[in-house]
Structure 1
Amino acid sequence: MDLPEEILAYIFSFLPLRDKCNAFLVCKTWSNSLTSSSAWTHTEIRCESGDCVPQRFSSLLPCIRNLKLIVSVADPVHRQTGLWVLQQVLAGGVGRLRSLCVSCLGNPPLFYAGQDLLQGLVDVLTNGPSLTALDLRGVPFTLSDSFIRSVSALCPSLRDLFINNGSLVCGVVPETIRDVLKCCPALNTVGLFQASVSHDVLRDLLEPQRTELKLLELRCERSLKYVTPLCDQVWADMRSRHPGLRVDLELDHTLPELQVPGVLQPSIPVRQLRLHTWTCLLEELHVVAQSYAGTLEVLELQTSASPELNAVLVTVATRCSKLREVHCYCVVSQNVIEAFCSLCPNLRRYTLKTRKELHPWTCTTLR
């Protein structure tokens, strides 16, 4: 069946660059579709070789609306190629790029902190004031206050900003986040280290002129032991001010066990909860069952197997009927699996095992 070129261009827009190059060589109809700007709405470009962008496509890079840029950090040439790609996408300051996701792969050189890549990103974003979404979760380097302030000043139209990356250190203080909120008044989806969130930051989000907040992702790690815990009342106020707000919490294995109760405040509208602490989570799961039953959709935990754990997981299944996914990376009993499958009608995927398997454990998909 022959499809109109407009439909083909829309389909091709979701392909990574390499697949677009292969499709270009299939036939004349396909190659014509790929020269349309609509074929470049969504594009993934992997900079892990010197010729990641064929010459015939370089002139089309400014047509990209949504870019996922994957950069190999092992070689400075690949890093420069990634910045060149971004320069071409933003060429002329035409304001077409709407969302940018930057991810890194490979092992960086010893003591390499990504300064060339981060500074290069700031430099090219001078032509990106129309950017509405920036995702830096795949960047493994510590993001500094000056970098975040520069990005927010250059991209005042941001609605989505994710800086909760895999760095071992939180380099962004709450005052910087307050500056970001001032620079980007339309922000409604934000990913942060919880150590970057203070009571003052949440009070800024409570201001009546503030855009309605939809999603807040928080990564909780060792830095929390140096900051004042957020009280439950301010979360209750957030829930009242932003009734559609959902919060995704990730508790890292570096988070001290004593800090966990301070994170899991009852009034947080938790949508996704990832407990990667490798600690005994019985009390925490009781809090989940009691406080997050109306909002929780995804639960993931890494802990030790025990009969007590099985019992509390059955309680979670009984009360958290909105769960879509549950992943438990320790052995559980058969009745735990049966409880989640029978009591959670929206369940789509789960990782629940009655015996140990080789890593990685396979996930069961129901629908």
Structure 2
Amino acid sequence: SSLPQHILVEVYSYLPMNDRLNTSLVCKWWSDCFHHPALWSRFLFKFDTDVDSEGLAVTAIEKYCNELKEVEIFLNQRQKISRDRACYVMDELTALEKKRLQKFTLNFTGLNPLCFNGSVILDKLKKLFSRKPSLSCIDLNQCNIAFDNDLLSIIALQHQFLRIVRLQNSCLIDNVTPEGVLKLVKSCPLLTELHTFYHCVNAGVLEAFCAEDRSAIKRISLLCNRSDKYNEMIPREAWHRFSLTLPGAEVTVRFHHSMPHHIIIPLLCEGIPLVSLHLKVYGWLTDELVHIGVTFSSSLKYLSFHTSMDIRRKAPPGLDIALLDLVSRCSKLEALHCYCTLSDEVIDKIK
């Protein structure tokens, strides 16, 4: 009980919530330190009745709402009561007069129930983001609902100091267009990391990133899904200008299994500063690996590719040769995830 408050608070900051709670029961002084505002600037809400039927995390928003700077919500989307509790937390954050929130993350867990499209949650997000102060990070990568341009317009209008925006979820339907992303990029000059869909970026968006009056973008992640089957690809010339103007920028490209194989090579054109590539397309990718090794030999650091639904299937000889050629060309390659069976000889050569 003689420990100074600032030291005890520092110790508390390293403890998981359950351990912190148990520690607060030692004495009144330790209990007082448990409620110190510095310990409640960050909070993780987990709403899942299978784990917490009472939703005890709700009490944190009622007691410490004014202290919260970083909020992360994990929500079992198939449970209506869990969805309601998450909406309640967002309502409380929206209603605050003094807003300190800087980072907001919403993650869905569990299977998507039939007919749940998330329109209520999308409305709650729009109301939350329509209130100041400006957030520095918005992470909705695991929030599997259909986003739209209205959401991006609200974010662009209210949060000019944004540095990180993640809108790359696994929902195969979205209503975001390049015009919506362009407005976001132009309104947020400090943006250094953007995760979105491939069809939401065009030459105009890349050109906006090259403007002299903004911070240099560091990371772009693009997800290619079935919507990209029918849209124009980003021109090679636009990628070349982007790479020359922003030599430190890194691009990640992800392919959803709904993408046809014949689009992969044209889409992965020369000029993209490609650092990380995820090919979840379930098919033999011999020609694609040859193209990747030749085109991105000076930039590629991470490669993951699914070749079959059955990872026990052996790779054909042509794929072995293409993979070894890729590894020999890509001098910066740090990680390789191959979802098929390779021979010991090929593995030894890769190493």
TM range (shorter): 0.7 to 0.9
In 2, the alpha carbon distance for the partners of 1:111 and 1:47 equals: 20
The DSSP-based 3-state class of the residue aligned with 1:187 is: coil
- Cα contact 1:282–1:309 (8 A) shared by 2: yes
Alignment of structure 1 residues 70-149 onto 2, 5 Å: 70-89=74-93, 92-149=96-153
Alignment of structure 1 residues 203-282 onto 2, 5 Å: 203-282=207-286
2:331 to 318, 321, 325: 321
The DSSP-based 3-state class of the residue aligned with 1:59 is: helix
Q: Aligned residues, how many?
A: 340
- Cα contact 2:78–2:110 (8 A) shared by 1: yes
Aligned residue in 2 for 1:301: 305
Deviations 1:308-344 (A, max 9, x none): 2122222222232323322111101223332343xxx
When residues 236 and 12 of structure 1 are mapped into structure 2, their CA distance, relative to the original with a 3 A threshold, is farther
Structure 1 residue 140 displacement after superposition: 1.0
- Cα contact 1:62–1:91 (8 A) shared by 2: no
- Cα contact 1:249–1:272 (8 A) shared by 2: yes
Aligned residue in 1 for 2:44: 44
Alignment of structure 1 residues 56-75 onto 2, 5 Å: 58-75=62-79
- Cα contact 2:236–2:271 (8 A) shared by 1: yes
Answering whether residue 321 of structure 2 is matched by residue 311 of structure 1, we say yes
When residues 15 and 71 of structure 1 are mapped into structure 2, their CA distance, relative to the original with a 3 A threshold, is farther
Aligned residue in 1 for 2:341: 331
- The worse-fitting range, judged by mean Cα deviation, of 177-186 and 236-245 is 177-186
Aligned residue in 1 for 2:311: none
In 1, the alpha carbon distance for the partners of 2:60 and 2:174 equals: 42
Structure 1 residue 155 displacement after superposition: 2.3
Structure 2: gaps spanning 5 or more residues: 309-314
TM-score, reference length from structure 2:
0.87
- Cα contact 2:94–2:127 (8 A) shared by 1: no
Deviations 1:230-276 (A, max 9, x none): 12221111111111100011011111222111221121111211010
Structure 1 residue 126 displacement after superposition: 3.2
Q: Which amino acid aligns with 1:207?
A: A
Q: Which amino acid aligns with 1:318?
A: S
When residues 91 and 248 of structure 1 are mapped into structure 2, their CA distance, relative to the original with a 3 A threshold, is same
Structure 1: gaps spanning 5 or more residues: 342-367
- Cα contact 2:265–2:291 (8 A) shared by 1: no
In 2, the alpha carbon distance for the partners of 1:40 and 1:26 equals: 20
In 1, the alpha carbon distance for the partners of 2:3 and 2:284 equals: 56
Quote the sequence identity (%).
Answer: 26
Deviations 1:1-37 (A, max 9, x none): x987546545654666556545544665654443222
